[in-house]
Amino acid sequence: MAKKIAIAGATGAVGRLVRQMLEQRNFPYETITFLASQRSAGKTLEFKGETHTIQLLEPNVFDNIDLVIGSTPDDVAEMFVPWAVERGTIVVDESGYHRMLDHVPLVVPEVNPDAVNDHQGIIASPNCSTTQMVVAMKPLHDFSKIKRVVVSTYQSTSGAGVAGQADLIEGTRNALNEKPWDYQAFSHPIAFNVIPQIGSAKHLGYTSEEMKMVWETQKIFGDDSIQVCPTCVRVPVSNCHSESILVETENPISVEQALQLFDAAPGIQVMDNLEQGVYPMPSNSDDQDDVFVGRIRKDISCENGLAFWCVSDNLRKGAATNAVQIAELLV
């Protein structure tokens, strides 16, 4: 058991959620250390009714740490993860820096939990948009191999951090008052708009966010033959990513079979009654750890196709929850 644990990036939005999860899920440990940058080091925070002093994220702090959950930007993860691994600390890394390295398992506990056994000191948690999709794909893929996925994402501004949230709230307020707003996170106004670009231009007209969904999905399932065609779009929603997903399987899966498969799968909740207006939305999926699925229907353009709608809290299952679940597998 990991007796001495730490959270790197403990004061960030996801780091705060990790702290909350560890407390709510009664994660086992003997000591816990909270790590952050110079800006937060020396300040205090409350955890389980006790006051803790935040320590500076530096090499020597890992001398007595068994396990660290890292909720940091890529450049910070690039810097601190080697410090930890060199000292025998296991790292659950939420950044994008290590995800596609051959020696680093990319893990979603509902999908490929056994992959944690292959770690060499680092375990990566996938991108938020990939995570919810592969959770939803898993029961269908187990029933009949998925050959192809066409996915369009509707991603919330919380995925772009504090600046993204400010752009949505203040940008909308200023737009209503016919005032300009200096957008920081987005290259175009997000108020009353959708932006069909997340990330930089990457490959054949696809963005970096879109290619993450391709490469990470194939790595998680251990199958490069799964074809993924993604389009990632930023929408004026505060939290929770939504996805329109179409899968093509080797053998047909009926709507009734899909409902049963989704119902029986861990980490999935079905909300599906079109006539009564019951389906997942950001407003009813926020602050939840599960992946929500609805609008399940036969793809009328493809013999073995199935279409559905998928919503998940990108800060929880898309980040904090998944990392804590990986840590739970380790202990």
The residues carrying an active-site annotation are 128, 241
CA 30/CA 119 separation, integer angstroms: 23
Nearest alpha carbon to residue 93 among 74, 110, 114: 74
Q: Where are the alpha helices (DSSP H) in the chain?
A: 13-24, 74-86, 128-143, 161-176, 208-221, 255-264, 282-285, 321-330
CA 305/CA 227 separation, integer angstroms: 14
Question: In one letter, which amino acid is 66?
Answer: D
Residue 262 tokens, joined: 């989704």
Q: For the beta carbon of residue 166, count every other beta carbon within 10 angstroms.
A: 16
User: Helices 128-143 and 255-264 sit at what angle, rounded to 10 degrees?
Assistant: 120
CA 135/CA 138 separation, integer angstroms: 5
111: left (phi over 0), alpha (psi -120 to 50) or beta: alpha
CA 47 to chain centre: 24
Nearest alpha carbon to residue 182 among 192, 173, 193, 171: 171
Pairing of strands 50-53, 44-47: antiparallel
